[in-house]
Amino acid sequence: MPCGAGDKRLLGHRCHRCRRDHLKCDGNRPCGRCSRKKVDCNSSEPARSNLQVVYYSHPDSSTIPREVPADQTQHYAQTFFFAMGLSPTLLSAFSAQSIGSLLCDHRLTQEAISVLGGLYACSNPSLLSLPRVAKRELTARWLSLQERIEEGLQKPQEADFDGILASALLLSFAHLLADTSGNSWRSWIYQVHTFAEWHNVVGLKTCRRKSLLRLARILDAFAALCLQEDIDLVLAPRWNELGLRMCQLQSIGQPQPMQGRDQFLDYFVNDLEMWAKIQYWMITWVRHINQLDGRNGRPSTDTPSEYELRGIELSCIASRFQRDVIAIITWYTSWADAGATSSILPLYHCISVDISRMFCDPSWLSLNCHLPAMERQVRHAQATSVLQLVENSVSHLHLEAIIYAPTLYIVGLEMKNKPERDRILQIIYRLKQKGFSVIERFESTLQDSWQGLDLF
């Protein structure tokens, strides 16, 4: 019988006394030998595994839990704030600082942010990849939300005014992403404008509400510009200030950054509305003159006096307005915090180009008066600088980038050679990549206009 280190019997199960005496051990605690001798069995309890037997039967297929899809709402909201950018200018009404309380308390605003972020993600697969099921669910959410917001637009209430207006403005950008024709966007903006006009009669203006109302006016003016429609303005208080912008800016001096930004946006929305109004007046006047002349706009020597007086009046109004535009551009370039509103500067240059271009129509020559029209070379040089500014801005803008659509059309009319037109088309392509379906209408309209212009 082996002993000592060679004894392998019940190794690890023998008590210390049995191992010492080289005896067989039954492995119990206390062991049988120590129990018979009534001595302490001084061996530690062996390590044992606590096993639990579980009986399992395969469940019925109807009871098998499915994988719960992750909630995309948070991802959509993150996409929205990414699309907003770090320092939005025209869309500052959507910043967390402006609508922070609505993000927490207003369900429609929360849903609108989620839907807009989701639609922007659908249009930009590089931001967030969505399966077809998620896209269908998102479309259903958008249509349902639109119905609820329309009900709120038709029944304005002071207590819920900010939330409804913010939600409606958010969905206006959803229309720009989804609608190629732009017709549904214009119809939606008209409803928002009517709702906002109700507030001019009833309601108090807080900082948030002022910012939302300003954005509503900006979108309404852009819609009028793009479709060459009339815009509803109260003109009486504007006439006394038209052409006096330089004096007003000199009295302001160098404002603080935030104060200057708000002041700049207030000027911008007024100028944008005035631009839309003057554009409509001039287009209507030329149309009437062409109808009277019957020679497709060639100068007429027998223009009725009432139309002649109206044409001279429009040229004076446009000249005064151009002085305001030049003043704001000069003030902007000398402002220390000009980078905060750099995306707006191309629009002011575009106003000057557009007004000068419209006065080049032969119908205005019948007035035999001075017209606020720049020379062809000067106008082209300014349009080229606008194009450069737009190229620099589009690269870092997302939702705000669509504001350059009318600018691209106006600047494109001044481009006479293929390299310049290719630059325009490249910017349009980048806007398409950002998901704006409505840009296709601008592209087709611009291509049609180029067909009738000479290419150098």
What pLDDT shows up at residue 339? 57
Q: Any residues with CB less than 8 A from the CB of 245 and at least 6 apart, and which?
A: 267, 323, 324, 327, 328
| Cα–Cα distance for residue pair 394/402, rounded to 1 Å | 9
Looking at residue 113, its pLDDT comes to 93
Which among 76, 142, 70 has a CA at the least distance from the CA of 84? 76
**CB of 290 within 8 A of CB of 297?**
yes
Mean pLDDT computed over every residue of the chain: 81
- C-alpha distance from residue 349 to each of 69, 175, 241 (Å): 49, 28, 21
What residues have CB less than 8 Å from 307, skipping those under 6 apart? Answer: 285, 288, 289, 292
Residue 30 and residue 36 in contact, taking contact as beta carbons nearer than 8 Å? no
Q: Show the low-confidence residues of the chain (pLDDT under 50).
A: 1, 10, 47-49, 61-70, 296-297, 299
User: What is the reported pLDDT for 216?
Assistant: 93
Query: Which tokens is 28 given?
Result: 């119990």
Distance CA 329, CA 322 (A): 11
**Lookup: tokens for 127:** 């931001």
Predicted local distance difference test score (pLDDT) of residue 237: 73
SS3 call for 63 = helix
**Hey, how many other C-beta atoms are within 10 angstroms of the C-beta on 42?**
10
| Rounded Cα gap, residues 356 and 271, in angstroms | 16
Cis-peptide, bond into residue 30, ω within 30° of zero: yes
- Indicate the domain borders of the chain: 4-37, 72-227
Task: Render the burial of 218-255: b for 16+ CB within 10 Å, e for the rest.
Answer: bbbbbbbbbeeeebebeeeeeeeebbebeeebeeeeeb
- The pLDDT value given to residue 65: 40
Q: Are 131 and 75 in contact (CB under 8 A)?
A: no
Sign of the dihedral through C-alpha 55, 61, 63, 65: positive
Q: How far is the C-alpha of 25 from the C-alpha of 15, rounded, in Å?
A: 7
As a residue count, the chain comes to 456
pLDDT at 64: 41
Q: Which amino acid is at 173?
A: F
Give the per-residue pLDDT at 249: 80
Provide the residue type at 285 as one letter: W
